[in-house]
């Protein structure tokens, strides 16, 4: 079933405001195209919060030009913390953008489908507005020139905290949140650094009893080029690269960081999420048999059978 698309505004009322959190650094090659795709959204009320992390190319000039002609709402240009993409998004989460009705993450080099925001808001308007809500989707994979060459994997298992503990479900470039979710995430981010904003959003929203909707239709064109911080997981080469991350201990370090961040936010989590978190944390300690038993009790899983088997293998060889 297709996700509902709302009318652009309620009769007699101003349309809900979306705050787009755009993190940039040396993105001049593709930034103008991304901003044109934002300007082409069918949702009319969009504030842009751009944080530049110390660009040495024309990025800031492009942002300044767009700020002058932006007609959808406010366009705020900030000087970022200059400490990497995760800290740049953490900085953006601390801004007043949390007062917007909806908040979306944005990378500097993608292209958004015209209905992206409308589709996300349409789903959220069909849910309980008091509950933290997170919308995400698949992506098209495109070349530097923008030619579509594939799609991100289709995940079929239900989004949940037990999945979020060991897997980031979707790219931050696809994510849109309602106000309860964005405020929750800003609160969590203020307490601790994190591996990535998208993974943190998935963990905190599901861990706090919120709802995550994974749209099976791609709504972002995810550009692949030499400057990608994290590439698409669509080819055998990409999967082998991720296997290398597991074998060289990177995934273990990411898990350490995620658990440290969640440890700073235990008061935001439901009792069920805390039980899963503690079992999973214990599964990474002690002897092999005890670790495997605790991993089973934790109920954690990845979206594919292959991924889950890899997870158990990582636990077996103490790489989790």
| pLDDT tens digits, one per residue of 175-220 | 999 999 999 999 999 999 999 999 999 999 999 999 999 999 999 9
CB distance 44 to 18 below 8 Å: no
- Kindly report, residue by residue over 240-287, the tens digit of the pLDDT: 565 565 557 788 899 999 999 999 999 999 999 999 999 999 998 877
Comparison of pLDDT for 275 and 289, the residue scoring more: 275
Alpha carbon distance 202, 179 (integer Å): 15
The per-residue pLDDT of the chain, averaged, comes to 90
Which residues make Cβ contacts (< 8 Å) with residue 112, sequence separation at least 6?
34, 37, 38, 40, 41, 219, 220, 221
Question: What sign has the CA pseudo-torsion 142, 198, 155, 20?
Answer: negative
Alpha carbon distance 304, 320 (integer Å): 17
- Kindly report, residue by residue over 26-81, the tens digit of the pLDDT: 999 999 999 999 999 999 999 999 999 999 999 999 999 999 999 999 999 999 99
Alpha carbon distance 109, 174 (integer Å): 13
What pLDDT is stored for residue 231 in this prediction?
Answer: 47
Helices (H), the chain: 28-39, 59-69, 85-93, 116-125, 161-164, 179-191, 197-207, 236-247, 250-263, 271-283, 288-298, 305-316
Pairing of strands 148-151, 133-142: antiparallel
Which residues make Cβ contacts (< 8 Å) with residue 66, sequence separation at least 6?
32, 35, 48, 75
Comparison of pLDDT for 69 and 14, the residue scoring more: 69
What pLDDT is stored for residue 225 in this prediction?
Answer: 62
Alpha carbon distance 254, 224 (integer Å): 23
pLDDT more than 90, % of the chain: 76
Tell whether the model's pLDDT for residue 314 goes beyond 90.
Answer: no
At 235, the pLDDT band (50, 70, 90 cuts) reads low
What pLDDT is stored for residue 269 in this prediction?
Answer: 98
What pLDDT is stored for residue 238 in this prediction?
Answer: 56
- Kindly report, residue by residue over 80-137, the tens digit of the pLDDT: 999 999 999 999 999 888 689 999 999 999 999 999 999 999 999 999 999 999 999 9
Dihedral pair phi/psi, residue 222, rounded to 5°:
-90, 105
């Amino acid at each position: 079933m297709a996700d509902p698309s709302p009318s652009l505004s309620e009769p007699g009322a101003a349309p809900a405001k979306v705050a787009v959190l755009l993190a940039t650094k040396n993105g001049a090659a593709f930034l103008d195209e991304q901003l044109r795709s934002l300007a082409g959204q069918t949702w009319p009320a969009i504030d842009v919060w751009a944080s530049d992390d110390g660009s040495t190319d024309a990025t800031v000039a492009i942002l300044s030009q767009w700020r002058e002609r932006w007609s959808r709402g406010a366009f705020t240009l900030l000087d970022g913390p200059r400490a990497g993409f995760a800290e740049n998004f953490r900085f953006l989460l601390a801004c007043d953008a949390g007062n917007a009705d909806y908040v979306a993450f944005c990378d500097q080099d993608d292209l958004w489908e015209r209905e992206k925001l409308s589709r996300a808001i349409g789903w959220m308007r069909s849910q309980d507005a008091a509950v933290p809500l997170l919308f995400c989707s698949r992506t098209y994979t495109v070349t530097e020139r923008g030619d579509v060459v594939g799609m991100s994997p289709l995940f079929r298992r239900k989004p949940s905290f037990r999945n979020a503990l060991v897997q980031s479900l979707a790219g931050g470039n696809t994510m849109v949140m309602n106000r309860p979710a964005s405020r929750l995430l800003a609160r969590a981010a203020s307490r601790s650094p994190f591996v990535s904003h998208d993974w943190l959003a998935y963990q905190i929203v599901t861990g706090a009893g919120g709802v995550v909707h994974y749209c099976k239709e791609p709504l972002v064109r995810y550009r692949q080029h030499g400057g990608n911080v994290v590439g698409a997981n669509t080819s055998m080469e990409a999967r082998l690269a991720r296997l290398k991350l597991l074998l060289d201990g990177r995934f273990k370090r990411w898990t350490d960081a995620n658990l440290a961040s969640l440890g700073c936010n235990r008061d935001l989590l439901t009792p069920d999420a805390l039980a899963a978190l503690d079992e999973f944390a214990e599964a990474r300690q002690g002897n092999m048999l005890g670790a495997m038993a605790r991993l089973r009790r934790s109920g954690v899983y990845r979206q594919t059978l292959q991924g889950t088997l890899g997870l158990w293998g990582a636990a077996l060889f103490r790489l989790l």
